[in-house]
Amino acid sequence: MEVNGIGNGLGIGKAFPAVGEGNKVSSPAEGAGKFFNELISKVNDLQVQSDTAIEGLASGENKNLHEVMISMEKASISFQFMSTVRDKAVAAYQEVMRMQV
């Protein structure tokens, strides 16, 4: 019986690939940088899609209000997630900087 991991190739699994996949990251900072770049890119894509849907609704092209609302909520939730991740990363960095060596 095969047990698949959480995500099944989506989301964080792409940002932090398994050790044996051949995508060797030279340092943890490089991996974190790649993760944040992908996160910001995906959030930006959702924001652009939401803006396009709103413009389509305002111009009369799109008559599906529920789809526009769904795209707006996806963009909002992804932005909140990105902000939370950023805040946690900054808090962790500050905690490390406060450590005495």
Read off the pLDDT of residues 53-79 as tens digits, 9 standing for 90 and up.
Answer: 999 999 988 888 999 999 999 999 999
- pLDDT tier at 33, thresholds 50, 70, 90: confident
pTM, rounded to two decimals: 0.67
Residue 12: what pLDDT? 54
- pLDDT tier at 25, thresholds 50, 70, 90: low
Mean pLDDT of 75-100: 94
DSSP labels for 37-61?
Answer: HHHHHHHHHHHHHHHHHHHHHHHTS
Q: What is the DSSP letter of 60?
A: T
